[in-house]
Amino acid sequence: MANLLGRRRWMAEFKTTLAADAAAISEFLQARITCDLHPPLAEAMRYCVVGGKALRGFYVMESARLHGVSGAVEVAAAIECMHAYSLAHDDLPAMDDDDMRRGRPTAHKVWDDATAILAGDALQALAFELIGDTEFPGNTRAALMVSLAKQAGIAGMVGGQAADIAAETAAVPFKLDEIIAMQNGKTGALLTWSCVAGAVMAGANQGPLKAYGDSVGLAFQIADDVLDVEGDEATVGKAVGKDEDAGKATFVSLLGLDGAKRRADELVESACDALSKYGDQAETLKEAARFVVNRTH
């Protein structure tokens, strides 16, 4: 009973912290994003960065708090800019062709393809600008920017997205190890970067948080695959059932629905175990991992 009450307390604390971090990041970005040359572009950028959970930003902030680092909101805002850029481009007709994102029309539906592309381009650039403007030592800022470039680029998110597009027309459906490699790039790379950012800022050992982030990133994608089968479109905030309609190989199609859920639970357990060195200080991060697989959107 005591353990259950403790879990409820930590989950409530996680949700409160997640909401507070999301609000702080949103307030920061709404004030920061301006464009005298073409104000509608700034409007599109601000549109792209609102409405989400800001989970990646939370991970930056919480990993910083875990190491006693303050002033992390700019870095958290940077990863949210990078994530928002990826979604604006991912939703375009040439890629996933989605009309809804976060329960609202996608950027190219509100404006047009060109504006969505340019808003994404500007958000990607802003991510590096924000890190460069922090007051961390030069070597720390360089480490954050170089690692973000790697995780966002061909060896990470962009490479994973390219593999995902290729999988749609592959003559032979992807096998499980290929799906894992693809999703480690497409979804996991930015999540892992977010989780280790606090250690980078503190100049601390990144190993435990990297292990945590790797497990959470894969669990997150499995949960997405489950939501594509079981989720309600109004709650999820975007179209569901698209993977099955397209005949794509997913964790659900390869492992079955129950098997995918079990694998996600195993990954959450591994993520929590990776944080053992931090003791009770990491309880909020542990609840974040559990939230990832139990979320409804």
Per-residue pLDDT of the chain (297 residues; tens, 9 = 90+): 446 556 688 789 999 999 999 999 999 999 999 999 999 999 999 999 999 999 999 999 999 999 999 989 999 999 999 999 999 999 999 999 999 998 899 999 999 999 999 999 999 999 999 999 999 999 999 999 999 999 999 999 999 999 999 988 888 889 999 999 999 999 999 999 999 999 999 999 999 999 999 999 999 999 999 998 887 776 666 666 666 666 678 899 899 999 999 999 999 999 999 999 999 999 999 999 999 998 877
Whether the CB-CB separation of 101 and 52 falls below 8 Å is answered with no
- The Cα–Cα gap between 104 and 149 comes to 29
Residue range 2-294, CATH number: 1.10.600.10
What is the token pair recorded at 135? 């007051």
First to last CA, the chain: 29
Q: What is the pTM of this model?
A: 0.93
Q: Where are the alpha helices (DSSP H) in 50-112?
A: 55-66, 73-90, 107-110
Query: Which of 117, 107, 132 lies closest to 46, judged by CA?
Result: 107
Helices first, then strands: H and E counts in the chain: 16, 2
* Residue 104: strand pairing partners: 101
What is the token pair recorded at 188? 């996991």
- The Cα–Cα gap between 28 and 108 comes to 24
What is the token pair recorded at 25? 């990041």
What DSSP string describes 166-203? HHHT-SSPPPHHHHHHHHIIIIIHHHHHHHHHHHHHHT
Domain limits, the chain: 2-294
Whether the CB-CB separation of 277 and 211 falls below 8 Å is answered with no
Helix (H, G, I), strand (E, B) or coil at 105: strand
- The Cα–Cα gap between 65 and 192 comes to 16
- The Cα–Cα gap between 24 and 22 comes to 6
